[in-house]
Structure 1
Amino acid sequence: MKPSTELVQVKEYRIHVEQYRREGNRKSIILINGALATTGSFNHCVKYLRDDLDIILFDLPFTGQSRPHNPAGGIVTKDEEVEILLALIDRYRPQSMLSVSWGGYAAMMALARRPPSIERAVVASFSSHLNEPMRNYVSRARDLVRAERFGDVAKLMNDEVGRFLPKLLKHVNHRHLSSLDSREYHQACFHIEQILSLDDEDYTELYRKIDVPVLFINGELDEHTSPAAVRELGNYIDDSRFCTLPDAGHFLDLENRSARRRMQQVLKGFLMPVICDSDEPSSYHDARFDVVDRDMSYVLKSPISSRLQRQSVGG
């Protein structure tokens, strides 16, 4: 299935948008990437959600298929990212959203504005603050970008947050990041500075404004956005739910077949309208997860597999 595409004008930017639509689908979801990732990084999500939900994807102005349509030299701030996201939500009226990694900041800020069409959200590989491994990682990335050592930036990403990716995806990431132009790296450096300043801001009141169910998914092996760190958001978001994905790191379903299968089950169990509105057990329920308490937090029944914990190449 090929998506329909269009260019959408949002203020001074032209945004490349892709839509996967299927006759009979009653609801839709918008997918939100982080940093320099493009719509292509959501290939797995598209495959296992498109039969049940129409899917909306987009590239930010400085990357992917939006880049050729926007003038060089401009910098997109995180506030502008939020305005772009809100404009697309207003145009396409999706009922749910899914963000990955640093896309979580734009997603959370947009949710705090309470867009009327959004009924629930999934925020994956996100943490409300920078822990020591993440701060060290982004600081080293900033220094390499400033020195224009772009190949080393790609290697750093694969060695750190991408350590559990299969070899083929590490190769694809290295090729993609090494080929970016100076404009994209200028944006990346600005993006890193924004990330490093996040701990200087208090988002507590913003989180309290979120009034829809939010499911946070983190990889069990992810040291940079750990499952434990994100749970503090339960103190601020009334309907917050938490899932720890076994044997997965920061890139979750991109890392191995087992993670893809579990991610599919968790997303369908949370997002599908019939299942979400029913008190009956979900047909997508995985025996490895147990749903507990009123907030439907997912907890593991089994310990980490030490063999898979050491494994860096998935299926």
Structure 2
Amino acid sequence: MRPEIAVLDIQGQYRVYTEFYRSDSAEQTIILVNGSLSTTASFAQSVRYLYPHFNVVLFDLPYAGQSREHNDHTRLMSREEEADILLELIEQFACDILLSFSWGGIATLQALARRPRRIVKAVINSFSPVVNPSMLGYLQRGVDVMRACDRENIGAVLNATIGKHLPSLFKRYNHRHVSGLEPYEYAQMSHHVETVLNMEGRSCVSFAGQIDIPVLFVNGEWDEYTTAEDARLFAQYVRHCEFRIINQAGHFLDMEHKAAWLQTRDALLAFLLPPLGQQRPRSTAREQHALVG
């Protein structure tokens, strides 16, 4: 299962690294949106159960992962700009479904509020519309170490908070990854955190009411940072929403253990796949990618 890799020009402003897992048997295409400080590699567990039911699109934002070398980093990006990029990729890959993880939910909900014509369903993992005391403490500690570019403690904060339920192997990977980022990546994440702390951008209820497609919210039973209870507040704003709790799982859901992986897989596929006997027209996914140097 090798992806087709391309670096796409987005509106003449950014170049975005993408991976496209093409499935000959798939009728729909799903695009996955990373959380903060994450790259396409963070969705390795998710791709295992989404493919081959769907064509799968992964991407790195311009300041992250394998997009970094293709962009200059002279200014910080807003969540609105991230939503613009997401909407452009939805069109380019003819995506039908949108799935986000953690802070990727902010740009995702902003994009959904614009009612992209192709998207028929969405899944929002490990996200809630409020900053509860646990999340507030995590954000405050996180922005302090990122402002100081304290690489060692950036990894320690992540693993002691939202990553506390990860197995040790993934904790080591997370620590190595987040402690080795570029200063502009820490600056970008600090900017997003400060926006959240100022109650601009994490307060998603202002545009959640514009979403008119079915949305599934998935949260871990043990996640004290984006709790299942807090996520249910979206029911007041999103017209067509469902909720699932992954038992004995924290913030990282399908990465934490096999039972959580199975529960997450079953919840997503039950929501996303059409009932047996029902089919829809096949999406026109991109036939070829042009690699932009």
**TM-score normalised by length of structure 2:** 0.91
**CA–CA separation in structure 2 for the residues paired with 1:178 and 1:135:** 22
Q: Does 1:269 align with 2:270?
A: yes
Query: What's 1:129 paired with?
Result: 130
Per-residue deviation at 1:204? 3.3
Q: Does 1:33 align with 2:34?
A: yes
SS of 1:273's equivalent? coil
2:33, 2:101 within 8 Å by CA — same for their partners in 1? yes
Question: What does 1:199-218 align with in structure 2 at a 5 Å threshold?
Answer: 203-218=204-219
Shift in CA distance, 58/275, structure 1 to aligned 2, threshold 3 Å: farther
Measured against aligned partners, the alpha-carbon deviations of 1:273-311 in whole angstroms (never above 9, x if no partner) come to: 335969xxxxxxxxxxxxxxxxxxxxxxxxxxxxxxxxx
Which amino acid is the alignment partner of residue 102 of structure 1?
Answer: W
SS of 1:45's equivalent? helix
Query: What's 1:4 paired with?
Result: 4
Higher mean C-alpha displacement, 150-159 vs 72-81: 72-81
**CA–CA separation in structure 2 for the residues paired with 1:163 and 1:226:** 15
Per-residue deviation at 1:74? 2.4
**CA–CA separation in structure 2 for the residues paired with 1:181 and 1:276:** 50
Query: What's 2:182 paired with?
Result: 181
SS of 1:122's equivalent? strand
Question: What does 1:142-291 align with in structure 2 at a 5 Å threshold?
Answer: 142-198=143-199, 203-274=204-275
Q: What percentage of residue pairs aligned between the two structures are identical?
A: 39
Higher mean C-alpha displacement, 210-219 vs 177-186: 177-186
Question: What does 1:9-20 align with in structure 2 at a 5 Å threshold?
Answer: 9-11=9-11, 12-20=13-21
Measured against aligned partners, the alpha-carbon deviations of 1:203-258 in whole angstroms (never above 9, x if no partner) come to: 43411110000000000000000000010110111111000110000000000010
**CA–CA separation in structure 2 for the residues paired with 1:44 and 1:137:** 25
Aligned residues: 278
Shift in CA distance, 183/96, structure 1 to aligned 2, threshold 3 Å: same
Which amino acid is the alignment partner of residue 121 of structure 1?
Answer: A
1:124, 1:216 within 8 Å by CA — same for their partners in 2? yes
Query: What's 1:51 paired with?
Result: 52
After superposition, the CA RMSD in angstroms is 1.6
**CA–CA separation in structure 2 for the residues paired with 1:95 and 1:249:** 28
**CA–CA separation in structure 2 for the residues paired with 1:170 and 1:155:** 9
Higher RCO (CA-CA < 8 Å; seq separation 6+): 2
Shift in CA distance, 167/240, structure 1 to aligned 2, threshold 3 Å: same
**CA–CA separation in structure 2 for the residues paired with 1:276 and 1:104:** 32
Which amino acid is the alignment partner of residue 98 of structure 1?
Answer: L
Query: What's 1:309 paired with?
Result: none
Per-residue deviation at 1:69? 0.2
Shift in CA distance, 25/223, structure 1 to aligned 2, threshold 3 Å: same
Query: What's 1:293 paired with?
Result: none
Which amino acid is the alignment partner of residue 269 of structure 2?
Answer: K
Shift in CA distance, 222/202, structure 1 to aligned 2, threshold 3 Å: closer
**CA–CA separation in structure 1 for the residues paired with 2:202 and 2:249:** 30
Shift in CA distance, 215/201, structure 1 to aligned 2, threshold 3 Å: closer
Per-residue deviation at 1:109? 0.7
Structure 2 residue ranges without an equivalent (≥5): 280-293
Measured against aligned partners, the alpha-carbon deviations of 1:125-184 in whole angstroms (never above 9, x if no partner) come to: 001010010011011111111222111011010000000000000000100111111121
Which amino acid is the alignment partner of residue 178 of structure 1?
Answer: S
Structure 1 residue ranges without an equivalent (≥5): 279-315
**TM-score normalised by length of structure 1:** 0.85
**CA–CA separation in structure 1 for the residues paired with 2:268 and 2:227:** 19
1:33, 1:100 within 8 Å by CA — same for their partners in 2? yes
**CA–CA separation in structure 2 for the residues paired with 1:115 and 1:276:** 27
